[in-house]
Structures are given as structure tokens and as C-alpha cells.
Chains A and B, each alone.
Chain A
Amino acid sequence: MKNRITIISVALNFVCVTAILLVLRKPAEKFTAQPASGVSQTAITQVGATVKQTNFVSSSAPAPFDWSQIESDDFLVYAENLRGIGCPEETVNDILTAEINDLFVHRRQDLFRPFQSQFWDLMAQHDLDDLLPKETEKILDALDQEKETLLKKVIRAPRSEPKNSSATEYEAVLGPSLGSEKTQRLRDAADKFNKLRQEIQSSPLPEAEKQKKMAALNEQSVAAHRSVLSPEELEEFDLRRSPFAQQLQNLFGFPASEAELRAMARLTMNEKPVPPDKKSPRYETELAEQLSQKAKIDKQMIALLGENRFAEYERSKDENFRNLNRLGHRYDLSPQTIVDVYELNRSIFKQVREFKKSNVASEEREAALETIRQQTERAMIAHLGVRAAETYRRNFNDWNEIPDP
């Protein structure tokens, strides 16, 4: 009995010693990367084995970390090893994307290499989107597919924009003042309605029915988007989308404060456009209404800006004044020079128009117009300088047209 106890005890000692030795050896596996789903066991074992060996060497004096301990030809293993040392997901993404892009671009270029000597023949005989033989195109497509699949497997962080990427008009108009939460809600709504639009488009409905549904959907979409915005944001959006606000950047020579510009946008918000169809039976009535409304708006504008600044505003809408301002910006002309040249042009054109109306004989008329043209040219050069005057002539061609033979 005693012998049996001793034997059991000695055996237990042996088991304990073996167990202790095994436990003491276990820390060497610390660097073995955690296998990711789908990672081949062989690959992991290989990395584990390498690290194990290194750590054994370093058990007495720890060796410095070396990149070769995590680098692997297997991208999945490489990614897992990087994650294993706490490399941020974004950096894992950068490292692996660069490696994969590099690898695949070289493989693609290797495929192109034999065709380089035939480049001009290909360009001469094939369409641009059909330059290479079908078999090569197939290999290229497979290569693309392989790269895409690999990136999807290896990269965890999103490689491009977030999933809702339908940037909205509201975002474009109101900018970052909207905040990220509202921006996202707007994008979600845009995505939802874009999907519904696609569904209608691809449905077998008759065209008229599709258009009807599409119109209703558009109304719903506007309402859904607008419901995201506060009343102040909505007002700002509508103001910024108004015809007045759209031409703000062209209003040269009219310095105005933000408050004034907003007030002007509000005043013109519902301004009717000039009726387009002169043949319409309602043309005269509509034109009269439009002119009467414009007169009222002008009055309010004068009250807001004063007579002189209202005149400046009206002038800033003239295309010739805009062109002169563009020229002024290029040649550092003073605002006064621009105004002087503009006034000069106006008076000349007035003179030409009156002259054309008069009953002067053709030859006399041509001679007089030629004189006006030459005088204008000299005056323009005197005001603008030779270079700016030449640029003006070449680009806007105004006084060249004066003789109009």
C-alpha cells in the first residue's frame, strides 16, 4: 500500500514538473497572431513558429522588435499581425492598400508590356474601349476582381466615403453650418428617394404613369428634406437659391454688406421674370404686371440703398460693366477708370444708335461711323492702356462692331 502511494506520488511529481515546464514555455507564443476567420492555419503556424524561435533566443535578453516578425507574403496574416501589435485600423488599411495596389498595378503593367510594340497598330485599328484582345481583357477583369476581393477581405475600415454618399443640394447651399447630424439625415433621405426613383424607372409602367409617379415622389422628397431644416435654415436656403443670390458674384462695383444683400434677396424673392413668349395673347398683360411689380421692388430698393447706390446696383447688372471689371481685375485698373470707360461706351453707343436712326445717306453714314470707331479706339487706349485695350477688343469686341456696315 505504502509502495503504491510512493509510486503515485513520484508519478504526480513527474506530471507536475512536466506541466510546469510546459507552462513556462507557453509565453513564447505571445506574438502568435490571432487567426482571423478564413486565414489559413498553415500561414498562422508559420508566423507563430518564426516568432517562437525569436523569443526563445530573447528569453534571456529580449530582442528589439523587428518588422520581419509581422511581415508576411500572405496579406491576411500581415493584416492580423499588424493588428496584433496594436496598429490602428486606418494604418493597417494604408499599409495593405499600398502593398496590394502596387502588386496589382505591376501585374497589370506586365500584361500590357507585350502590347507596347503594337501600340500604334492598336490605336489605328481598334476602338479605344476595345484596344486589347478579348482574352487579355478577360485576364484584366479577373485581375480587377481578384484585387477587389482581396481588399474586401483584408481591409476592415471603409476605403471610400460612408455608405450614404448622396450629397444634397441643401448641403451644397448651406455648407458645414448644417452640422453633421442634419447632413446625414439629408443624405439618408436623398438615398431613400434615389432608390425609389430607380425603382420607378426600372418598373414596367407606361412612361406617362412613370412621370406622374416621379413628380409625386419629387414633391415628397422636397418635403422630406425640408422637414430636416429649421425655419431659419429653410429661409436661408431659399434666399441663397433666389435669382438675386445666384448672380451675387457678378455684381461688380457695388460694395454691399451681408445684411443689405440679404434684404435685397428678400425683396426680389418673388419677382416675376419677363414673359418669354411675345406671341402669347397674355404677353402684354403679363409684361405690364411684371413691370409694375419691378417698379414697386425698385422703389423699395431705393428706400433701402438710397438713389446713388441703387444706380450702382443697376450698373453692376450690365454685362459691359461686368466685362470691364474683369478686365480691371486683370490689369489693376482703378474703379474710377472702369466707371469712366463704361460711361464713355454708353455715350458712344447712344450716339451710334441715334445716328443709325437718322436718315443719312449710306456713304456718309459709314464714314461717320468709321470716325466714331477710330475715336473710340483712341479713347479706350488712352483710358486703359494699349495692352488692356487690345485684350478688351479681342475678348469683348465692342467698339469694333460700332461701324456695323
Chain B
Amino acid sequence: MKRCVSAISIGLNFVLIGVLLFCLKPSSIPVAPESRLKIESASAPAVVQTNNVIDVSNAPLPVTKFHWHDIESEDYPAYIANLRAVRCPEKTIFGILFADIEKLFAERKKRLESERTFWLAGDDFEMTRLAREKRLFDLLDEKRALIKTLLHSDLDWEIMQSWYEEKLLGLLAGFVPDAEAERALSVAKKFVDRIEKVDQNSGGLLIPEDAEEKNKRYAEMKSVLGLASADLEEGELRMICLFGNLFSNDATKESNLTGQELRQITQLKQRFDNPLEHELLKYDGNDSGPEELSKQKFFEEVKSFLGEVRFQRFLRAHDRGFEQLCNLAEENGLRPQITMALFEVQSAATLAALQMREDTALPRKERWLQLQAIEQSTREAIEQMLGEKMLARYSTNVGDWLKELGRP
């Protein structure tokens, strides 16, 4: 009996050692996950349909045989469906597709841009330039439409990169929740692109219809930003403060503005001298008249808001011409009151000359005579304040505007 047990045990030894050796044969020795998964994937059962959409209902993918190839697809809707099928979070799906679409379109854009033919003269060059610009804008629209359709999003890649990197942008737009800021900035970018399209199509010669089109786009943008009216107002004011250079610099500190005062001044800028509107409405390259008029109106309003002394400090900080005048006055020992009086004479004379030039009812010669008279009387007024010698110095250093007064 003992011999029998011993024989069975020894026999079992051989069987078990055989089984153990079988279990340890090379195919079951762990290898690096990636290479193993690839091998297994190659022999995986055909659970993926021809368009690479996973059929989760029929045969669930065995975990051990899963490979990225099983979900990746060149067909975006299929790719999204596959990612959803494996319960990939929507945020991650967005991250994958958003970057992929950007790369796809960046490549197409690069190809389009490299299609330039160098040896083209004026008309042919302009024709191909316009055609290329149009294709580039169409491509941009196509990309946005695709993102909207697939991902139900308005986000813009370029804006998002700035949003991630630019602290100032974060601070400026940080008064609304992050998602709202990201969307509003992206939508604004879409409209800025459309406004730029008008500029590019103009070939450098903007016409009133362009200004009209740009203005329409701007109004449309404000209506679709999705911000509450108070937020929209705050956002626009912050942009005006930035683009209108109203923010603090060394000189503003002297005028001791409070935050509330700066906001109120920015509101005046928005109402009387809006830099965003100047950018949109400008179409006649040579005529700076309307902008000059609105700047003067703005200064008038700021003056009555701040009072003369603080206004002078504000002006010095925000008007380069006035700063130069102040420097000249200080170098020559002139009183601050004189500086302000000079500025007022300049403002009044410039305004009068601008109005005269706009008065087309007057015969041309009469207009010119009037302009000459404005120049002469202004010169005399300044000479009275400064004296002959100082007037010469004034004219050389900061008095270019005087010569401009008499221009027809």
C-alpha cells in the first residue's frame, strides 16, 4: 500500500511538473504591455465594425485584448462613439478631438498657404491673394462648424492657448466664471476674424460699406456673446481701458484716481471716444478729423469730471502732445497755468479748423481764407502768452499743429 501511495505520488509529481512547465512556457511569460497588447490585438476577434464603431451590445471587448486601435477612427463621429462606448469622460473626448481637429486644419492651412505662386504681377497677384484669403477663411469657418457639430462647442483653439498662457487675459476676463469667459472670448475671436476678413478683402482701401459691415459684425458679436448685460458692459469697459491706454502709468499716479473714478472715465471714453468703435468705423485713411473731434469731446468731459488741476495731471499721463508741452514749459520755467492755457488754445483752434474743413457749404476759397485766419489768430494768441522768442521755440518743439491749422 505504502509503495502504491509512493508510486501515485511520484506519478503525480511528473504530471504536476509537466503542467507547471506548460503554464510557464514562453507565451505566458509577461512582456511589456504595449507589445503584448499589439500581438493580442492582431488576433482579436472581429468585434469592430467596418467603420470602426465598437458593437458593445454583441460582444464586449475582453479587457485583456483592448488596444487603442480598437477605438481610434478617422471618422470623427465613429471615434467619439467609440470613446463614449468605453466610458471616456466627455471632457477627455473634447480634449482629444479638439486637438486632433486643430492639427488636421493646421495642416490644411499650411498646405493652402504654401500654394503661393511667386511670379505674378499686380492684378494676377491680387486675384490669387483674394482667392487664397477666401479659402483660408472658409477653412476657418469649416473648422468652427465641425467643432460645433461634433463637440457642441464654440471654443477657439488660438484663444484657448492665450487663455492658458496670458495672465492679463485671465485677470481681465476673470469677472465671469471660467467657462463663460472661455466661450465669450472664443465667440469674440470668431467675430474679430470676420472683421479682419473685411479688412483683408479691402486690399488696404476701406470704403464706407466696409465700416458698415464691420460695425454690423461687432453688434452681432455683442448679441451672441452670451453674457448678461452688466457683464457685457464690464467686459467692454475693461477692453476700452486697456486699448484706450487709460490704465495706470507713472504719470497717472499723480492724478490719484480711484478705481471708481477710472471706471467712470472709461465710461466717458466709451461714450465719446470709443477706441473699439474707431477701429471699426475708420475707412478713410487720410482723415483723422472725426477721431480728433471725439478725443476733444472726451477731454472736455474728463475735465468737468475731475476739475482743472487733476485733469491737467490726467492729460499729461494720457496725451503725448500735452506731456511734451509740459516738459517744454518746465524746461523754460513757464507756469502750469500757461501750459493749460496753451492746451486750451490748441484744442479750440483745432476744433474750429476741423469744423471749418467739414463745412462744405462754404466756397472752397472762402474756407481756405477762414482757415488761414484761424491759424493767424491762434499764432497771435500764443505769441501774446509766450512772447516772440518763446513762440519760436514752441513752434519748433511742439507747434507742428499750428502749421496744420491753415491746411485746406
Residues of A within 8 A of B (CB): 2-3, 5-6, 9-10, 12-13, 16-17, 19-20, 23-24, 26-27, 29-34, 51, 54-55, 58, 62-69, 71, 82-88, 91, 94-95, 97-99, 101-102, 104-106, 108-109, 112-113, 115-116, 118-128, 131-132, 140, 175-176, 240, 245, 248-256, 258, 261-262, 316, 322, 325-327, 329-331, 366, 370, 373, 387, 391, 394-395, 397, 400, 403, 405
- Are the C-beta atoms of B121 and A34 separated by less than 8 Å? no
CA distance A91 to B83 in the complex (A): 13
- Are the C-beta atoms of B259 and A34 separated by less than 8 Å? no
Contacts A91-B96, A329-B126, A395-B286; is A63 near B60 (CB within 8 Å)? yes
CA distance A347 to B168 in the complex (A): 57
Contact of A67 among B86, B100, B117, B260 (CB under 8 A): B86
Contact of B174 among A20, A58, A113 (CB under 8 A): A113
> Residue among B238, B262, B368 with the most chain A CB within 10 A?
B262
- Are the C-beta atoms of B96 and A112 separated by less than 8 Å? no
> Can you list 30 residue pairs at the A/B interface with Cβ under 8 Å?
A16-B13, A16-B17, A30-B36, A32-B33, A55-B64, A62-B60, A65-B66, A67-B87, A84-B33, A86-B37, A86-B68, A94-B95, A95-B95, A116-B175, A119-B175, A119-B238, A120-B260, A123-B248, A131-B171, A248-B120, A249-B120, A252-B121, A329-B203, A330-B203, A330-B205, A330-B207, A373-B364, A391-B208, A394-B286, A400-B408
The verdict on B158 contacting chain A, using a C-beta distance below 8 Å, is no
Contacts A86-B34, A95-B95, A394-B284; is A325 near B89 (CB within 8 Å)? no
CA distance A84 to B68 in the complex (A): 9
- Are the C-beta atoms of A119 and B259 separated by less than 8 Å? yes
Contact of B248 among A12, A126, A132 (CB under 8 A): A126
- Are the C-beta atoms of B33 and A34 separated by less than 8 Å? yes
- Are the C-beta atoms of A370 and B205 separated by less than 8 Å? no
- Are the C-beta atoms of A83 and B34 separated by less than 8 Å? yes
Q: Which residues of B contact A29 (CB under 8 A)?
A: 30
- Are the C-beta atoms of A64 and B86 separated by less than 8 Å? yes
Q: Which of B4-12, B294-302, B340-348 contacts A (4 or more CB under 8 A)?
A: B4-12
- Are the C-beta atoms of A54 and B3 separated by less than 8 Å? no
A-B contact count (CB 8 A): 281
Smallest CB gap from A403: residue in B: B364
Q: How far is the CB of B194 from chain A (nearest CB, A)?
A: 19
- Are the C-beta atoms of A128 and B247 separated by less than 8 Å? yes
- Are the C-beta atoms of B262 and A124 separated by less than 8 Å? yes
Residues of B within 8 A of A (CB): 2-3, 5-6, 9-10, 12-13, 16-17, 19-20, 23-24, 28, 30, 32-34, 36-38, 41, 56, 60-69, 72, 83, 85-89, 91-92, 94-96, 98-100, 114, 116-126, 129, 160, 163-164, 167-168, 170-171, 174-175, 178, 181, 202-205, 207-208, 238, 241, 246-250, 252-253, 257-263, 284-287, 364-365, 368, 408
